[in-house]
Structure 1
């Protein structure tokens, strides 16, 4: 009988699996499922932390964007067709600005160094500052068709900005513009008063808009406001009226309502006049001021010749009469050369007889 083979159970030590003795005290052994859950939870926590940081950064950027927009520091390229110009009434004189061509050449050569300012209203934009720059861009695009002039750099103001602040910004921009006249500044004050219901009058409007100007300058502007109000839009070239002439006309107007009527009739005679013709007409109006009491003549001095000028309303137009020592002059829009001499002599004789009577 053969010898039986003995079967032994052979146990190999698992070098990769720690024994119970290798597990630290107080630590539970985790299975594969528990490890996966833990890893997923850690990844979810990391993702939530990253998302929270992104939201915090976005909120900070949004607040900074709002702050910059309120401060008017946001600039963008705005399409010309999206810009309106009717929010603020401009102080520009009627007609085309002769300096636009010079500005256009500058934009073509070096670009626009100072963006315009707009306020967003729905899908459109209202022009706040930069009417000349906007006009130059619009003309360049119409003339060249170049796409670079189809949109203009613009600083975007916050919505609903105070009307006085907007007009003050326009004033400050215009005060540094070369050649701005008292007539233009007066027109701006009148326009602002018409839009601002809380402004008491034109003088108040001048004080608000031109607060940074000197008192004497504000006084001149108020005088020109008086001139524009009295003529009610009949001055065609108010931007060209010199300061001294404007003030002299206002002094003449202060004589009463009849002086204002005379001036307005004079302005109504020729609506197609040039700036030079209008200034000559205003000078003529000033010269018609009645002469006050004769001044005493100093010893050795020459006596000042007294002169009286007045107008008579006639169906064919005003008759201007000038009377001085030894002279009577009558001007009327009528051709007297066609009148028979005997009729003229009879008329003059009747006139003199009436004076003697």
Structure 2
């Protein structure tokens, strides 16, 4: 089990472009040990844009609801977080599931109304074991993702972790995330040293796409949690009361991608691992338009189109980083507004300082 000492490291499997790697979580990444329940800590890469171009329902994104299960898939406890908010960049967003005395090896995070992009989630079991999960898995497994300005030490030299989007308000792909914590411990052998294991084994990781998910995938047989791969089944837990605030029945809803296309925030990053070209090229990336100072390029996220800085081109459409505009540059020097829909930003976030 992953039991970190007071000042020790907890190592967790993560995924990078080159395959599996190891993230090293330290004590401040976890909620304090509490024997009467399970403690969860979230780091938020970004909160979402409000519907129809408006602001969020409240400041920040909703923390997900938490359902904790034991190794057999029995429900141990639930915490509803529809009134708990956490803003972009926070790494100390805590939640607890009380009266949990067994090991909650499975957790189902269920999205609430305001979208949130999780950079990482950690858990502290009642007996003190600790585990961690990072949002990098979203990009690798084809779920909505974005960059974050949150750093977790690792053995691959990568810069910041990615974040995984969740949203329960509208037609957004990912409404919940299931994690089997021991499968992310650096001592786990059942993944065959392959990152793809997690994308194809729903008991280890599931990005739920159904409305307000409440089921969990479990492995059929009792086993040592570090054994080789067994088969899985879906465990049907007691259905929670319907949350009318989450219901989209009879409503005309708007998806997260459409909302983000009208996001008036602009992200500018100096991090070398943050690439505007990568963000624009990915069919699964979702979030505000993005400037990479390492590449000197701008990704206009609504059409997923790349523009170079105007200083780097002789002619054509380009990005004026001082004016925050897409402009057209001619060979003889004059610059005018480009023949593309105007972009307007009322908030700029600078990352990687």
Q: Determine if the TM-score, normalized by the shorter chain, exceeds 0.5.
A: no
TM category, shorter: under 0.3
The TM-score normalised by the length of structure 1 is: 0.26
Higher helix proportion: 1
Higher relative contact order (CA 8 A, sep 6+): 2
Higher strand proportion: 2
